[in-house]
Amino acid sequence: MWDLCTNSLDTAKLRGASYADVRVMHLRQRDLTTKNGQVGTLAQSESIGLGIRVLVNGAWGFSSTDRLTRDGVAACAAQAVSIAKASALAKRSDVVMAAEDAYVDSWQGPFRKDPFEIPLETQLELLLAADTAMRGVKGVTLTETGMQFRKIDSWFASSIGSRIHQRKVISGCGIAATSFQSEEIQKRSYPNSFGGQHALQGYELVDSLELSKHAPRIAEEAAALHSAAQCPEKTGTVILGASQLGLQIHESIGHPIELDRVLGQEANFAGTSFLTLDKLNNLRYASDIVNVVADARLDHGPGLGTFAYDDEGVPAQCTDIIKDGEFRGYLSNRETAHLVGLQRSSGTMRTESWNRLPIIRMTNISLLPGPWSFHDLIADTDDGILMETNRSWSIDDRRYQFQFSTEIGWEIKGGKKGRMLKNPSYSGITTEFWNSCDAICSFDQWTLWGTPNCGKGQPMQTMGTGHGASPARFRNVRIGTAFSNQ
């Protein structure tokens, strides 16, 4: 692989590139699903190719190819140079990149059990057992289970001399029960929606989640939701379960801090951000108990945003995003770092595959745990609603106004968890919401959730991001708006 990298870099330099970086990536994926006790998808795929990014005349070009021959990658590099020259026809200024050292390294993410080495029969047996357990519950009309595994090898080389090989193994699994009754569809998922939990782990993740053990419970909840009371429409106290809070972080903190959005580079598609440059170190983003970091280091945990180097060859870092409630940092790359006064990229350039240009992406954007036990948090709440497991999510294109609904809610009265509520939802304005946070649970309730389906960029790229969260309480929140006035 290094020969292919060297060959394409040499071609780019010969043709006038002042800087170039290249990625060869080999991606392997396995997908298994069941539905109503039958195998649904059973598929495996692999893809290998090379993508090269070049800077010529102060402008970028990128090209990719699956023709991994000496001629093929040289032609690809030459095409990237041609494209960069065309880019220069419509440039306003030359690209300036923050300095970075060259690294020669090899890194492998942590996994104990290679999921591709576990017999398929074992994997399907587990899914079918969970499926059977859900179908045994009266009122359940649809059962779904799934596992997804990925193994990604990437070889990164750049014209400043970096040579970095990384291997990641990613696992994910989940189950869901749906119930259609009385003109209403209700659904429960475990351990999360979007296919469950996903992490930079091997098959040990699947083992740890005990899908069959939780299957009857979520099936019973799906059926019981039909007779539950409707979530009221009011302004009040909300306690968000950790997985829902993970998505809240993703949408209302993770996206607005992407510096490419802030600078207008995503204005046509993903949108911009309310976090204009004047707000850095000058905005009370949240209450003073809120601390949020962007942490790609393995020390933070095996998240979907964990790596040793980003796809620009910058080492993984931990950046303060919100410190004691104050807005402290953006996600940057080598091109944008200087615009916020940084000497160095925060290391967040990531690419979906060999045929996509790396762009600024969330790594693990996590809310640090607080001091509360979950029991004490409930006991301390006189009147509120506990909302768990995301059902729908939406936020405006500058990341101010959001609305989320969850699969299930629970009334909290007099410090006790009470009756089940159906169709819970809440909405608000990002900074008002985060400033209303008055309690965060401790590390024993904290999970590094994986969001596997974050879409951004044109052409669209899907990326996995990590979000550590524990349950937290928010005051004076608008509740029930999604179902108001229907």
* Binding residues for another protein restricted to 253-312, rule: CB under 8 A: 263-269, 271, 274
Residues 6+ apart with CB under 8 A from 310: 296, 316, 333, 345, 347, 348, 349, 350, 358
- Contact mark string toward another protein, 332..361, x via CB under 8 A: -----------------------xxx-x--
Tokens of 209: 């989640």
CB of 48 to another protein, least distance (A): 6
Interface residue with another protein, options 8, 15, 60, 296 (CB under 8 A): 60
Stretch that binds another protein, among 27-35, 211-219, 314-322, 463-471 (CB under 8 A): 27-35
CB of 121 to another protein, least distance (A): 5
Query: How wide is the angle at C-alpha 85 spanned by C-alphas 82 and 91, nearest 5°?
Result: 150
Q: Which residue has the tokens 């009266």?
A: 138
Tokens of 118: 């576990």
Stretch that binds another protein, among 44-52, 213-221, 309-317, 468-476 (CB under 8 A): 44-52
Residues 108-167 that bind another protein (CB under 8 A): 119-121, 124, 141-142, 144, 153
In angstroms, rounded to a whole number, what is the distance separating the alpha carbons of residues 82 and 9? 14
In angstroms, rounded to a whole number, what is the distance separating the alpha carbons of residues 87 and 83? 6
Report the residue number, 318 or 420, with the smaller CB distance to another protein: 420
CB of 473 to another protein, least distance (A): 22
SS3 at position 433: helix
Interface residue with another protein, options 299, 341, 343, 486 (CB under 8 A): 486
In angstroms, rounded to a whole number, what is the distance separating the alpha carbons of residues 321 and 471? 19
CB of 429 to another protein, least distance (A): 7
Strands 383-395 and 234-240: parallel
H helix intervals, 116-168: 120-135
In angstroms, rounded to a whole number, what is the distance separating the alpha carbons of residues 410 and 407? 11
Beta-bridged to residue 465, according to DSSP, are 451
Residue 55 binds to another protein (criterion: CB under 8 A): no
What type of residue sits at position 188? Answer: R
Residue 65 binds to another protein (criterion: CB under 8 A): yes
Residue 107 binds to another protein (criterion: CB under 8 A): no
Residue 192 binds to another protein (criterion: CB under 8 A): no
Interface residue with another protein, options 103, 107, 194, 393 (CB under 8 A): 393
Residue 48 binds to another protein (criterion: CB under 8 A): yes
CB of 1 to another protein, least distance (A): 6
In angstroms, rounded to a whole number, what is the distance separating the alpha carbons of residues 468 and 292? 9
Which of 242, 239, 248, 326 is CA-nearest to residue 288? Answer: 326
CB of 314 to another protein, least distance (A): 19
Residue 67 binds to another protein (criterion: CB under 8 A): yes
Interface residue with another protein, options 363, 389, 406, 427 (CB under 8 A): 427
Dihedral, CA of residue 372, residue 373, residue 379 and residue 381, to nearest 10: 40
CB of 52 to another protein, least distance (A): 11
- Residue 43: C-alpha distances to residues 31, 200, 352 (Å): 5, 21, 20
Interface residue with another protein, options 7, 8, 11, 79 (CB under 8 A): 79
In angstroms, rounded to a whole number, what is the distance separating the alpha carbons of residues 261 and 398? 9
CB of 163 to another protein, least distance (A): 14
Report the residue number, 208 or 230, with the smaller CB distance to another protein: 230
Interface residue with another protein, options 392, 453, 462, 476 (CB under 8 A): 392
**Interface size with another protein, residues (CB under 8 A):** 98
Which value, in Å, is the radius of gyration of the alpha carbons in the chain? 24
Report the residue number, 241 or 428, with the smaller CB distance to another protein: 428
Stretch that binds another protein, among 224-232, 310-318, 320-328, 385-393 (CB under 8 A): 385-393
